[in-house]
Structure 1
Amino acid sequence: MKKALALLMVAMVAWTMTDCSQNKQGRKADGPSAQHAKGGKGQAMEGQSRAAKPGDGKVNELTTADFKKKIMDYEKHPDEWVFEGDRPVIIDFYATWCRPCKMTAPVVEELANDYRGTIDFYKVDIDQEQELAAAFGIQSIPTFLFIPAKGTPTLQMGAMQKADFEKVIQSVILK
């Protein structure tokens, strides 16, 4: 009985330590998962727009259909990254049940207000937009996609503090 209890405690501690994210290191979004996004093999969840108003200082919901229209149409351009926007973008891949996602959300909202009119901020609920999450190989959340106006997007996995966001914004978005 004591062994079972000890094993249960170890499992709970291990689960708590992983906290929805496995790897906090950034990576370029040009690996196999980005290739999948470029190929667009699956059926899109062609939902209605959720009142996304880029540049309004808020973090707006983004559907697969909105992504294709505002960010990149990977069906139209299957072999290369062709950014459809006119301003840099940060996309937060999250889930409503994810505690680190909930802790990071106010930081992202504050950044959206700070960079109003300069950077567009969106969020993608991975449970609602599974195809889009799969297209980028989202395996841990929160994950952030930093998209400069020109250049290659970068994925950053794991919860981040405001100072960490600022570093990535300066090195990837505003360089």
Structure 2
Amino acid sequence: MKKITLVLVSIMIVGTSCANNKVKDNEKSEKTEMSQQQKKDNKMKTIHLTKADFLAKVANYEESPESWKYLGDKPAIIDFYADWCGPCKTIAPILEELAEEYDGQIYIYKINVDKEKELASAFGIRSIPTLLFVPMKDKPQMANGAMPKATFVQAINDILLKE
């Protein structure tokens, strides 16, 4: 575990026709656009969590404070962020892309530390962004700072999706 954490930390980079046919064609075009938009809308996006959501979907640390028991059915990344944080804004679109690319394989959760102070405190969040990589069977691993997409992909493959 220390080795994986060291690898993760070492690769982190802060960063910051006719009238009738025309109408029919327009209707078909609109339906196609709507269908494409619906498919896009159905893609996985990052999921914002409140403390209550966290306790139900991720881990109920109040019920079992002495041990970590992940409640999810897929591995997860949890992004502790704030709206005013520059590096948080830098990685937000990367996390959205990853949520679409790894749709069905992992969850990407976001926790606003300004709105969920108790949750941030429970995890000892002192700087943001702080990312918690939560595999299905192992203990979660924490990383601080912004990372490039390639580093996220490596962490997802090495920590979350490893067999």
Partner of 2:132: 145
- Match status 1:68 vs 2:55: yes
Q: Secondary structure at the match of 2:131?
A: strand
Distance 1:57 1:122 in 2: 11
Gaps of 5+ in 2: 1-7, 11-41
> What is the DSSP-based 3-state SS (H/G/I as helix, E as strand, rest coil) of the residue aligned with 1:93?
strand
Higher helix share: 2
State the 1:78 CA deviation.
Answer: 1.8
* 2:107 aligned to which of 111, 120, 128: 120
Q: Which runs of 4+ in 1 moved over 4 A?
A: none
Identical-residue share of aligned pairs (%): 51
Equivalent residue runs for 1:94-105 within 5 Å = 94-105=81-92
Structure 1 counterpart SS, 2:69:
coil
Q: Secondary structure at 1:171's aligned position in 2?
A: helix
Bigger radius of gyration: 2
* Structure 2 residue identity aligned to 1:78: P
Matches within 5 A, 1:2-151: 25=9, 56-151=43-138
- Conserved? CA contact 1:59–1:108, under 8 Å: yes
Structure 1 residues 72, 56: CA separation in 2 closer, same or farther (over 3 Å shift)?
Answer: farther
For residues 68 and 43 of structure 2, the distance between their equivalents in structure 1, rounded to whole angstroms, comes to: 25
Q: Matched residues in 2 for 1:86 and 1:60: separation? A: 15
Aligned residues: 124
- Write the distance in 1 (CA, Å) between the matches of 2:102 and 2:109: 13
SS at match of 1:25: helix
Q: 1:56 touches 1:117 (CA, 8 Å); kept in 2?
A: no
CA displacement, residues 80-132 of structure 1 (integer Å, 9 cap, x when unaligned)? 11111111111111000001111110000000000001101110000000111
The TM-score normalised by the length of structure 2 is 0.72
Q: In the alignment, does 2:158 pair up with 1:174?
A: no
Whole-Å Cα distance in 2 between the matches of residues 131 and 86 of structure 1? 25
CA–CA separation in structure 2 for the residues paired with 1:133 and 1:76:
17
Instruction: Tell me, in whole angstroms, the C-alpha distance in 2 between the residues paired with 1:132 and 1:78.
Output: 13
- Amino acid across the alignment from 2:126: Q
